[in-house]
Structures are given as C-alpha cells and as structure tokens.
Amino acid sequence: MTGMNRTFSIEMLRAGAHLLRVGHRAGSHSGPPLLLFNGIGGNIELLEPFARSMSRELIVFDLPGVGHSPLPPRPYRLGTISRLATTVLDHFGHQRCDVLGISWGGAAAQQFARSESERCRRLVLCATATGSVMIPASPSVLWKMMTPARFIRPGYAQRIAGDIYGGDFRRDPSLASEVFRHVRWQSRLGYYFQLGAAAGWTSIHWLHTLKQPTLLMAGEDDPIVPLANARLMRWLIPNSELKVLDCGHLFLLTRTRESASAIEEFLDRP
C-alpha cells in the first residue's frame, strides 16, 4: 500500500523501552479522537477499511511485536498497553479520547478505561469479553486461536474462517483472503507475547465501577466470543447498551458501514 492511498499516516514513536508504529488519521469531526485497540495479531492496515467509513480523528498503533512495531525486550501486560496508549495520546496533544477495542483489544480498552479513566470519555467494546473469566468458545475454536497459523498460511485461514469467525465467513470463506491480505505478519513470539499479556486477566470484578457510557457490539454468530458474554457485560457495566449484529466475530470488517454508523451515532450523542 503506497503512501498516496494510505488511510493512516504512519510514524515510529519511542515510548520508554518500546518503539511503536503509530497510525493517525485526521478527521472532519470536532469531537475527541477515537483511540483503537486492535485484535490479536492485528496491525494498522487491518483497520483501514473501517477507518474509511469513519469521519472522526483516529489513532491506532501496532502493539509491541505485532505488525511493524519491533519485538519488546520482555513480555508485557495489559497495564503496559494502557501506559503506551497515554504516550501516544500525548504525542498527538490529546488529553481525552474515546476508546474502541476489538476482541483481544477489547480487554486493552477495558483496562485503559479503568486505569486512565479521566482520559477516556466513552467506550466501545466490539466482539469482546471479560478475559479469563468468561463464557468460553468451544475447545476446537480455542485450539485454532492458540496458533497464528491463519496469519501465515492463507489456505488454512480460508479453510477455518467459518469455524472461528462465523457469520459471513460461513457463507463465503473467501472473505478470509480479503481480510488477511491486510495483515503484516511479524513473528510467532510477538503473537504469544500478546496472548500472554492477557493471560489470567479479568475485568469481571470491576466492570461495575466503569463510569464511561459504553456501547457493546456483538455478532449473533460469534464462535470466538459467544453472544452471552456481551449480554453479561451489558448487565455488569452501569451506563451501557448492546447492539447485536446479524454477523460473526469480524463485523467491523464485513459489515463496516453498519458498524461505523452505529459507533458514530453513539459517540455523537450529547
């Protein structure tokens, strides 16, 4: 993807011991920026189709060891990701933001909303759950998620796409080729560092303390994060609402305009 048609402008940013590849897109909207936390193994380019449907300023970064951010010197936890995000916000001169987390990134978004509550105005949680204490996927789905093979072998990704992503991928497995062409694979170690960052983490005992208005979005047919998790989080988070889409886990990428419209409407409310 050339610089001329890139949705995000890209730069490298030093954040303590970490070097981060950061994406930024100026928006036509006057509100706070939307900080994006990607799913596991997801790099900036994966979110470009979604970004083109949004009108507001967007900020995203490749996690350490993912995409084009170099491997970190040691394993990290979700609290580290929250601190890195504050450095990125400071770099662009923002004190507050709205936050969106997708799947694994939903855990990072929840942690940010708690650890940096004064900097998080509103929260959008997409296809995510409460961490290690959740209603789990089936063992066959979890086993497929424990390995990054789908990012490395396109044929394998297409074969299992319906099983792990559900929704539109059951009807059209070739969608996997379209989605994964945006992936910039780096290393197995970076993938396992990301898995390890959330190992043992759960928000279930403190979600009731979140003060931010929260939009929960979930796919009706999501093998990775069953819909019951979103219903549980809707019950736990005081000022929250739930939107269910007739889709699977990756609705931000397969139902992009519908998803973006719902998110913009929620963030634009007085």
- Is the pLDDT at 1 greater than 70? The verdict is no
Q: Report which of 32, 249, 238, 76 is spatially closest to residue 162, judged by C-alpha positions.
A: 249
- Known catalytic residue at 103: yes
Whole-number pLDDT of residue 61: 98
Whole-number pLDDT of residue 173: 85
Give the confidence band of 167 by pLDDT, cuts at 50, 70, 90. very high
Percent of the residues in the chain that have a pLDDT greater than 70, as a whole number: 98
Whole-number pLDDT of residue 152: 87
Whole-number pLDDT of residue 50: 95
The single residue of 69, 82, 103, 240 carrying the catalytic annotation is 103
Q: In what order do the strands lie in the sheet with 120-126?
A: 9-15, 18-25, 58-61, 34-37, 97-102, 120-126, 214-219, 240-245
Range list of H helices, 96-249: 104-115, 139-145, 149-152, 154-165, 168-171, 175-180, 188-197, 227-236
Cα–Cα dist 229/248, whole Å:
14
| Average pLDDT estimate for 229-250 | 98
Measured from the Cβ of residue 241, the count of other Cβ atoms closer than 10 Å reads 12
* CATH of the domain spanning 9-268, picked from 3.90.550.10, 3.90.1150.10, 3.40.50.80, 3.40.50.1820: 3.40.50.1820
Angle at 199 between CA 242 and CA 164, to 5 degrees: 55
Averaged confidence pLDDT in the chain? 94
The CA dihedral of 35, 251, 102, 134, to the nearest 10 degrees, is: 150
- Is the pLDDT at 2 greater than 70? The verdict is no
Range list of H helices, the chain: 48-51, 78-91, 104-115, 139-145, 149-152, 154-165, 168-171, 175-180, 188-197, 227-236, 251-254, 256-268
- The residue ranges of every structural domain in the chain are 9-268
Tell me how long the chain is. 270
DSSP code, position 71 = P
Q: pTM of the prediction? A: 0.95
Structure tokens, 59: 């900020």
Strands 9-15, 18-25: parallel, antiparallel or unpaired by DSSP?
Answer: antiparallel
pLDDT higher at 27 or 77: 77
Give the confidence band of 5 by pLDDT, cuts at 50, 70, 90. low
**53 contacts: CB under 8 Å, gap ≥ 6:** 256, 257, 259, 260, 261
CA 235 to chain centre: 22
Whole-number pLDDT of residue 78: 98
Burial class for 139, CB neighbours closer than 10 Å (0-12, 13-18, 19+) = exposed
Tell me, what amino acid is at 71?
L
Model confidence pLDDT, tens digit, residues 191-212: 999 999 999 999 999 999 999 9
Q: Which of 153-157, 191-195, 223-227 has the lowest mean pLDDT?
A: 153-157
- Is the pLDDT at 154 greater than 80? The verdict is no
For 87, what's the count of Cα atoms within 13 Å in the CB-facing half-sphere?
18
DSSP code, position 202 = B
